[in-house]
Structure 1
Amino acid sequence: MPDSPMMAARDFEGMADAGLVEQVRRGEPLAFCAVMRRYNQPLFRVARAIMADDAEAEDVVQESYARAFAAIGGFRGEAGLGTWLTRIVINESRGRLRRRRPQVDLDQVERTQEAGALILGFPGGKVVDDPEVDAARAEVRRLLERAVDELREPFRLVFILRDIEDRSVDEVAGLLDIRAETVRTRLHRARRQLRAALDATLADALRGSFPFLGPRCDRLVETVMRRLRAERGWPDPDVA
Structure 2
Amino acid sequence: MTEPLELSISIDVLKAGNKAEFAKLVNQYSNSVYRIALKILSDPSDAEDVLQETFIKAFRALPGFEGRSSISTWLFRIATNEALMLVRKRKPDFVLVDEPDAPDEDENSGQVQLTDWCCMPEAELMSDESRRHLEEAVQDLTPALRAVFVLRDIEGLSIKETAEALDVSEQVVKTRLLRARLRLREDLSRYFGGKMAERLEK
Aligned to 2:41: 51
TM-score (normalizing by structure 2): 0.74
Name the residue aligned to 1:149. 139
Larger radius of gyration: 1
Match of residue 158 from structure 1 = 148
What is the deviation of 1:60? 0.8
Q: Is the contact made by 1:44 and 1:57 (CA closer than 8 Å) also made in structure 2?
A: yes
Tell me the distance in 1 between the aligned counterparts of 2:5 and 2:14: 14
Quote the Cα distance in structure 2 between the aligned partners of 1:59 and 1:35.
Answer: 18
Shift of residue 159, structure 1, vs aligned partner: 0.9
Matching residue of 2:194: 204
1:170-209 Cα offsets, whole Å, 9 max, x none, are: 1111222222122111111111100111112222333455
Q: 1:202 to 1:33 in 2, by over 3 A?
A: farther
Matches within 5 A, 1:2-41: 15-18=7-10, 21-22=13-14, 25-28=17-20, 31-41=21-31
Q: Confirm or deny: 8 A CA contact 1:170 1:180 kept in the other structure.
A: yes
CA distance in 1, matches of 2:63, 2:98: 37
Percent identical residues: 34
The alignment yields a C-alpha RMSD, in angstroms, of 3.5
Mean alpha-carbon deviation: is it higher for 68-77 or for 177-186?
Answer: 68-77
Gaps of 5+ in 1: 1-11, 121-132, 213-240
Matches of 1:87 and 1:41, distance apart in 2? 15
SS at match of 1:17: coil
Corresponding residue number in structure 2 for 1:116: 108
More relative contact order, 1 or 2 (CA 8 Å, 6+ apart) = 2
Per-residue CA deviation, residues 11-34 of structure 1 (Å, 9 max, x unaligned), is x95532326953982232xx4443
Residues 1:49 and 1:15: Cα distance change in structure 2 (over 3 Å)? closer
Is the Cα contact below 8 Å between 2:40 and 2:147 reproduced in 1?
Answer: yes
Rounded to whole Å, the distance in 1 between the matches of 2:195 and 2:13 is 49
**Among residues 93, 102, 114, which one is paired with 2:92 in the alignment?**
102
TM-score (norm 1): 0.64
Counterpart in 2 of 1:87? Answer: 77
Q: Describe the shift of the 1:24–1:147 C-alpha distance in structure 2 as closer, same or farther (beyond 3 A).
A: farther
User: For 1:21-48, what per-residue CA distance to the aligned partner results, in whole angstroms no more than 9, with x for missing partners?
Assistant: 53982232xx444322321232123223
